[in-house]
Chains A and B, each alone.
Chain A
């Protein structure tokens, strides 16, 4: 169902494209079609690109509802729990989206590496089981109803109120600042130059995942010039030579946690155990170490609100 929804984006994207072509033509500054941009602003397409199943779209629409995980208590009865199934199987199956460097990306031998991969591997190790990765589309992971195809998501998922209806979350294992990037083509270097007030008035082009936005900018596509994504994702794109500039500091901070499908078998014990392991990894410095390794020496594991 979700993939169908994803496919439905194409005509919407086409409409948005048509709309922005009426509004103004690409990067050419003030070509006199009466858009009425203020002084110092640049005439760019009023369209922002976001990953479809991300929270950035909600944020643009003003519907973003960041949330905290529910309190997690040690369950008294663990029989039939997903934790038991995993221990009996000897393997935990973790979903990952390999389009999300530096959190998760492919190696030429077909294995995955990245911050999320290392965190997941460490969790498996502390659970005493082997790890196996599945690669469903990101929108399938956030939508719940995993059909028991994988056990947990260690995929930098932001805790939000709507997601909490279908997924159980552990405590956050790290925090990323969401940021705004602009294509170099647009000439925008600061958020103050934008011809509209964010988040009002911004139209969104939604592509399946964040990396599609960077890919589209690099390919020279002109549907949009702005891109909302996680700070580290934008930094990674810049490091890889994608012609984008980071034009804002953190517009908000995302709490990123491990998620388990609520429609699956009982998982109170698994949730408790993984939450405990994450607490342990925060305390013994494992998470800090991994963060510094993958995010250019930055420690993103401390809650900026505390």
Chain B
């Protein structure tokens, strides 16, 4: 018996294969979700079962600690904006043929990436006043975070600019476009599209790093949790609340970042 070449398999078999795939995907998702629910539920139950969790404390102080999330987000949103501006100029300078401009930008990146963020934060708050530069706590935190992330993002932007195909620049040059316009109209818009997912990534990382700003008495999430916990001798509950809020914040922002990433990838197809 010969089968005809080029004839597709019988549709009901194809349908069966698809259904099996769907089932396997569904069962994967189900088990994945159950694992998470089981683990988190188990953790919560274990904590509750120890009898050391004071629910009335959580009800009383939870809102105050949660209020710190607003300051955390304010810090991060403001800092990411300033850091992005710094990074654009930093990246252009890093790619500059002028040795002085290039040197300044490289020194900035090296200095910032070579010192701990917590040192930079404390430096802005405690060391600068000795030079008569007095910055209140929240702006000091924003300055340190922007300065720090600006350096890391300079490298992201530099890579982004370099990833724009050379032909784009050459085509603009051939049309007689001046150098600064090529950067602004041709290269940067394409580079931004490339780096946006990485910036989103940095934003999520910054949410966690912003906890370091608690050392200069900015009343953000961690400061509130630590002080409330210490004063009431309930650090377990207070720090759990803070950790949970950080976690939820990063999950929420990662979700948006992932969607953005998918959107950005769409035009690459």
Contacts and interface: CB of A to CB of B under 8 A. Distances in A.
Interface of A: 1-4, 98-99, 101, 105-106, 108-110, 134-137, 140, 145, 147-149, 211-212, 214-215, 218-219, 240-242
Contacts of B64: 106, 108-110
B61 interface: yes
Interface of B: 60-61, 63-64, 67, 122, 126-127, 129-130, 134, 136-137, 215, 217, 219, 227-228, 230-233, 235
A136 B217 contact: yes
Contacts of A240: 232-233
A-B residue pairs, 9 tightest by C-beta = A147-B129, A147-B134, A105-B231, A135-B217, A218-B233, A136-B217, A108-B64, A211-B230, A108-B60
B126 A3 contact: yes
A215 B230 contact: yes
Nearest to A110: B64
Contact of A215 (B134, B215, B233): B233
B227 A99 contact: yes
Contacts of A215: 230, 233, 235
A99 B231 contact: yes
Contacts of A2: 126
B113 to A, nearest CB: 20
Given A109-B64, A135-B219, A149 B231 contact: no
Most central of A106, A140, A145 by chain B CB within 10 Å: A106
22 contacts: A2-B126, A3-B126, A3-B215, A4-B122, A99-B227, A99-B231, A106-B64, A108-B60, A108-B64, A110-B64, A110-B219, A134-B217, A135-B217, A135-B219, A136-B217, A137-B217, A145-B129, A149-B134, A149-B137, A211-B230, A215-B233, A240-B233
Given A108-B60, A108-B64, A110-B64, 12 more contacts: A1-B126, A105-B231, A106-B227, A108-B61, A108-B63, A137-B215, A145-B130, A147-B129, A147-B134, A211-B230, A215-B235, A218-B233
B230 A212 contact: yes
Contacts of B126: 1-3, 140
Contacts of A135: 217, 219, 227
Nearest to B229: A215
Contacts of A1: 126-127
Given A4-B122, A135-B219, A145-B130, A101 B233 contact: no
B233 A214 contact: yes
Contacts of A212: 230
A171 B120 CA distance: 39
Contacts of B122: 3-4
A55 to B, nearest CB: 21
A149 B230 contact: no
Nearest to B128: A147
Contacts of B217: 134-137
B222 to A, nearest CB: 13
Given A135-B219, A136-B217, A149-B136, A106 B231 contact: yes
Nearest to A3: B122
Contacts of A110: 64, 67, 219
Contacts of A211: 230-231
